[in-house]
Amino acid sequence: MKKVLIFSIAYYPRHVSGAEAAVKEITERIADIEFHMVTLRFDPTDPAEEKIGTVLVHRVGSGSGYFSKIFFPVLAALKARTLNKKYRFDALWALMTYMLLPVVLAKMLGVRAPHVFTLQDGDPYGKVFGRVRIVPFVPLIDRGFRTASVIQVISSYLGSWPKLRGSTAPVELIRNGANPKDLKESVDHATVKALKQKLGKKEGDVWLVNTARLEHQKAQDDVIRALTLLPDNILFLIVGGGSDEVMLKNLTQELHLEDRVMFVGQVTRDEVTAYRKASDIFVGPSRSEGLGNAFLSAMASRLPVVATAEGGLADFMSENTGWVVPKDNPEAIAAAVKDILAHPEKVKQIADTARKMVEDEYDWDAIAKEMRNRVFSKVL
């Protein structure tokens, strides 16, 4: 059986976003490849090695601090060299731009294997390549772009990046999919009802929800500001964690919205579907997105979606699938919410169209098959 070594800064069970979920969904559907992964050991109690799904995960480092992340590329490359002596990998797989660093270093240390690269960064281009701490390493990152055997991108927006970095590698557009639990509608009514009772949803309440990381690019602050323009029965459910949490809580207090903004915190991917089902409108006015898995999952749950068309969102956000608003515009968010509440028939039509789109174009079984045939086949 062919063997592939994946490089990812984070993985299950502690840190899961769209990229990590994509790896799990894809690897579990490809039976003829043996997958390994090198990732960061965020906590000393995490096992150095364990099987998660079909991936044998190898962890390096001993903490989630700044220096652990800085030294991860070196530690990961050294670990890759050691693992390669035992397993003899046929290919390497970099998950997102910065994981090209350990790939390039591993090759410099003698790991002789071609690499593929999945480009699904959520930050804008200027931020990815312009961070002060990253600038000295950009030549190595560019080397990773140029020497990749094939680059997979998850949106048309990201498809322009490889050429800008000097790459002539073939680029394959293969998008991520929606959460299978949303597509299969596997959360029962009793579970949703119990969650509403637990969180105190009252008759007549309207819940806006966002299930993304609490980061500047996700623009949860704009949703909080939009609440000041909406009736008191409209609340905002924030499901997730991140570096903006303190700022968002302070903003909530400044605007005297403590009773209308609920911070749920991080929940597992298996649990998040219930929070969407318990809510009424998904609002994600992102300032940048590589694709937007959470939006697709909301559409799969038949929620009306309010979003920008920034980055990869432009691939599927339109007047036929949701309510498109400009970024940094709480007034437009409020207007979209009011329109949704005023036109239930329009909502059903758009929600049904969006759901059908997700079923047809964002199914993990088809995506995994495309990854095997159009990406891994080029290096195995």
The CATH number of the domain holding residue 228 is 3.40.50.2000
Tell whether 257 and 351 lie within a shared domain: yes
Residues spanned by the domain of 193: 180-361
pLDDT of residue 188: 79
Q: Looking at the predicted structure, is the pLDDT value of residue 311 above 90?
A: yes
Residue 141 CB partners (closer than 8 Å, separation 6+): 97, 98, 100, 101, 104, 129, 134, 165
Residues 220 and 330 in one domain: yes
Residues 293 and 164 in one domain: no
Mean confidence (pLDDT) of the chain: 94
pLDDT band at residue 256 under the 50/70/90 scheme:
very high
Regarding whether 223 and 202 lie in a shared domain, the answer is: yes
Least-confidence region, from 290-294, 324-328, 371-375: 290-294
Do 315 and 228 belong to one domain? Answer: yes
Confidence at residue 164, expressed as pLDDT on a 0 to 100 scale = 97
Ranges of H-type helices in the chain? 18-27, 66-87, 100-108, 125-130, 138-147, 161-164, 180-184, 189-199, 220-227, 245-254, 269-278, 293-300, 330-342, 344-361, 364-374
The answer to whether residues 298 and 235 belong to one domain is: yes
Sign of CA dihedral 84, 136, 9, 97: negative
pLDDT computed for residue 196 by the predictor: 94
40 & 163 share domain? yes
Give 69's pLDDT tier (boundaries 50, 70, 90). Answer: confident
pLDDT at 186: 65
Q: Are residues 254 and 277 in the same domain?
A: yes
What does the pLDDT average to over 104-110? 97
Q: What is the mean pLDDT of residues 184-196?
A: 84
Assess whether pLDDT exceeds 90 at residue 231: yes
Residues 248 and 342 in one domain: yes
- Tally the domains of the chain: 2
87 and 196 in a common domain: no
With 90 as the cut, is the pLDDT of residue 226 above it?
Answer: yes
Q: Which single residue is written with the structure tokens 């080029």?
A: 378
Residue 255: what pLDDT?
98
One domain, residues 201 and 338? yes
Based on the fold, state whether residues 325 and 194 are members of the same structural domain: yes
